[in-house]
Amino acid sequence: MKNPIPYLLIFTLLFIGVSCSSDDETVPETLVVAFENPSLSFDTVDTQKEITLVFSATTLESGTVTINYTTENATYGDTEDFTTSPSGASGSIVVDIAESTNSTSFTFNKLKDAIEGTTKLVTFSIASISIPDAISNGNTQLQISFAETAATAGSFAPEVGGPNEPNQVYVDLSSLTQSSANRASWDLGFHSGDEYRVTLNGSIFMAAAKLEATDIDAVTPEDVAELQPQVAVGTFDAANTAYVDGVTGEITTTAIAEISETDEDNTVYLLNLGFEVGTDTPDIGSVDISDDPRGWKKIRILRSGTDYVLQYADLDASEHTEVTVSKNTGYHFSHFSFDTEKIVSVQPASDKWDMNFTVFTNEIPGFGSYGYSDFIATNSLSGVGAYQVEAATIAYADFTLSSVEEASFVTEARAIGSGWRNGGGPGTLPSIKDDIYYVLKDADGNIYKIRFTALVNESGERGYPEFEFELL
């Protein structure tokens, strides 16, 4: 997993900017330095984190920032609890600031875990900045816990990848981490829970139709020719929702029926592989998320003990390939790729993500399945819930734990969905909705308020979302 990239921190209540004197001379912008986030924590697997400091403006010269630290039940040293790079053996760390940059960082190495039941903390504080007139403000301190604790606040810029939106990005608020996978890197997800269900990759607009045949080798292109035009996303036919997974994310609503222990009950499926990820550069404010069609497969899925057995072939093939797929304990799915013919890594562990920034196969009531860009799917299979709040009802700054309405949490994949942004249209560029925000409860019961701060980059290109959050 990666730490979130910089440039999103909101510096608190400080009026900094460019102004003009009476003789119209420009006053240089004051450089403000702060930690990207106020807290970080380690799980039992993590041993290293990059600590980022962000700047309010691009630096005009090089310099250094000196950082002091205090500890609780932790000692610095190679044979002790932690070290840093650059070294903090003297009790402080001097981190270089390069010219023409917006951030800098240092490395924290955790050498020993906290003993169960004890607290082990290191708190870093910005002491001084060598660049003239530079100041620290906002997150001037960062507390690191050696045991997992929920982050108290933070900001993210999920690395969706621009207007082609090639990445599915999984964000975990409590650990301030994100991970990503290319949208076209997988095709089928084999559920690891009690149900024997197989999901389609809706981010590339896959679809599937159940056939009557049980002999995969006997199915020919002629057998499915009339059906193929229907088995697709975006046909504006209300009936085509039967060929895609349920948009709420419930595992019982997959397009492929539950896999039976009885082989004869498991028929062949016609599988539309969707589209390649887009590669063209679209007009400002637009997206290019789809390229050439990826073709078709015929598949049949059986069970062997607790494993799945996937049979697959091209439509004109008279012989099939067979692969066994095991359930992956601790993860929602085992993901399979026809391109590599292997199991591939896509999602983090089932309880290690809250939101997935992705292209999504959604539904337009009355018009069937349809592809959505800039979509946020919540981890509904782990019980993550969310709901929207109107800022006119209660301002984001005023929303506290006592404001939470437990009955309002929606535990389905579209709890946030596309509701956080305006899609734009003729003569109107896409934009975030700045009159709403969200409340989210993660799988551990932590409750956060979330406010989206960007949909596009400084050039107006889509695929650059940003948001901030706070633990309630």
Q: What are the pLDDT tens digits along the chain (472 aa)?
A: 333 333 333 333 333 333 333 334 444 568 999 998 888 888 777 899 999 999 999 999 999 999 999 999 999 999 999 999 999 999 999 999 999 999 999 999 999 888 766 788 999 999 999 999 999 998 999 999 888 777 888 889 999 999 999 999 999 998 888 999 999 999 999 999 999 999 999 999 999 999 999 999 999 999 999 999 999 999 999 999 999 999 999 999 999 999 999 999 999 999 999 999 999 999 998 999 999 999 999 999 999 999 999 999 999 999 999 999 999 999 999 999 999 999 999 999 999 999 999 999 999 999 999 999 999 999 999 999 999 999 999 999 999 999 999 999 999 999 999 999 998 777 788 899 999 999 999 999 999 999 999 999 988 999 999 999 999 9
Q: Nearest 5°: CA angle at 128, between 96 and 157?
A: 60
> Which pLDDT score is estimated for 25?
42
The DSSP H or E segment spanning 224 is helix 221-224
Q: Are strands 141-145 and 39-41 parallel, antiparallel or unpaired?
A: parallel
pLDDT, position 116: 65
CA dihedral in degrees (295, 300, 305, 307; nearest 10)? Answer: 10
pLDDT value, residue 150: 79
CB-side neighbour CA atoms (13 Å) of 439 = 25
Q: CA 351, CA 316: separation in Å to the nearest integer?
A: 41
How far is it, in rounded angstroms, from Cα 384 to Cα 444?
9
> Is 203 within 8 Å of 186 (Cβ atoms)?
no
| pLDDT on residue 212 | 96
In whole angstroms, give the CA distance from residue 54 to residue 52. Answer: 6
Query: Contact at 8 Å (CB) between 205 and 341?
Result: no
Report the half-sphere exposure of 286 (CA within 13 A, side-chain side).
12
Q: How many residues does the chain have?
A: 472
Could you tell me if 413 and 248 are in contact, meaning their C-beta atoms sit under 8 angstroms apart?
yes
76 DSSP assignment: B
Query: What domains appear along the chain, each with residue ranges and CATH number?
Result: 1-146 (2.60.40.2030), 181-344 (no CATH)
